[in-house]
Structure 1
Amino acid sequence: MTTLNPDEEALAQARQAVHAASRIAVLTGAGVSAESGVPTFRDAQSGLWASFKPEDLATEDAFRSHPERVWNWYAERRSRLQHVQPNAGHVALADFQQRHPGRLTLITQNVDGLHQRAGSTDVLALHGSIADDRWLDPCALARRPQDACSVTVAQPGQPPQCAECGNLLRPDVVWFGEMLPAEALRAAEYAALRCQVMLVVGTSGAVYPAAGLAHTARQAGAQVWVLNPHPSELDEVAHGFLRGPAAEYLPLIFGEDD
């Protein structure tokens, strides 16, 4: 009889729980993308940006005060992402979704779009998407609420502007002090309430309201697993945890039997 070591036993239990569940929620954080080489928010404040504080680069006040600075920081981050590929963890989740439609809801705090590029669908991006833009303000000249601004060609290093009212485009991400997208948050809370298993991957569990989804799932009766190389603030909520990289463990958890 083969005796499993603690890590192997936990992996087997997590895999069994996932494959037995008809409703699974997965919450991912920066650690999943870091394994693809995506700098974390703090790591991205390097080089020319090392002297700036988060409130200098990722708040509405910062953008209104220094739109060029903020726009160029995000332009540099977007450029870096063009050379990054989804890792085996992203792919494992996407493959499971495709093999088992309707069973897995993917919720992410990441803005890089790697889950979508790997093939995951209906991703609930709680912090927005760095690849997308939205208007900073409602159109000042709009006669109807549904009227949108129009875009003029931007000057190099400048955010695009509305040709008529001067409104600026901004990155479609959630900045410090802003609310999460209401529709995505409602859908995530609903998934947390209904799931039988929640897997929390690559996040410290320190950022709310996203981290609160694990508490919601636990209180609703779901089995909660934490996958992270280091201890997280959600370990105490979990029924079990795995200490390791997502790119290694997710394929083992979500892959099909040989």
Structure 2
Amino acid sequence: MKWFFRIVAYTVFVALVIVIVTIVFSGVGYLFKPGFFTQFPRSGMSEGGIFPSLVGSLLLIIVVFLITIPVGLFGTIFISEFAPRRFSILLQSLVATMNSIPSIVYGLFGLSFFCVKLGFGTSLISASLTLSTMAIPFFMNSAVEFTRAVPRELREGVIALGANKIQSTLMVLRASKSGLLTAVILTLGRAFSETAPILVTGAVFYATKLPSKITDPVMTLPTSIYAIVMNLGEKAQWMAKGMASLMVLIMIAIYSVVQILRRNKDE
């Protein structure tokens, strides 16, 4: 039986490598094309570069970070340190349930609530709030496990030395900082790669200028790839391949950092 699982594992690994290598090598050459990162797209995205998509994705991730991490961290602290046990279990189950909801459902929620109900329209803030609504449970689901992994003896020892509950909580956060940083990186990586929530709340497929305020729509890398593949001809496919290759390389870098952090924690 052991050999069977080994063959399955090797098969999955080889398939994954083939997919990654195919995507990267099909577009990595375009990353060195002059103006690819610094120019606006032209001629129906068949010429020029990805500058507005790159800036749009960066702005989106910054706003998501500013919303998600403080809210998610406070929620994590409440669940793991302050909430009564039964209520904590209920909240954690709710977080896990929200984490399993398909991203398009969050997109439809953001469209109906942030875009229509609150009147933000198709904008950077609508997309950011929608992604944050999805990212907060994802962050908390991991962060709670990291804080609860801190030995109970540490909490009791700190309190025995005269610390109050807040000081004890700060000590727990300090002890689990590597895990929390891992959760932050994974959450931003998840938000960076999402398409559906942005597609219906904040994305435009073609822009000749950068957003000047948070109520302006943005171009992003994943939505631009979708727009090119679904709506444009063969002349524009090179740009989609270049952006796809860039996104895969960024995701590899993100998860490599996560593995390094986990290895350092284990050591």
Q: TM-score, normalised by structure 1?
A: 0.23
Q: Which one has the bigger strand percentage?
A: 1
The higher-RCO structure (CA 8 Å, 6+ apart) is 2
Structure showing greater radius of gyration is 2
Q: Structure 2-normalised TM-score? A: 0.23
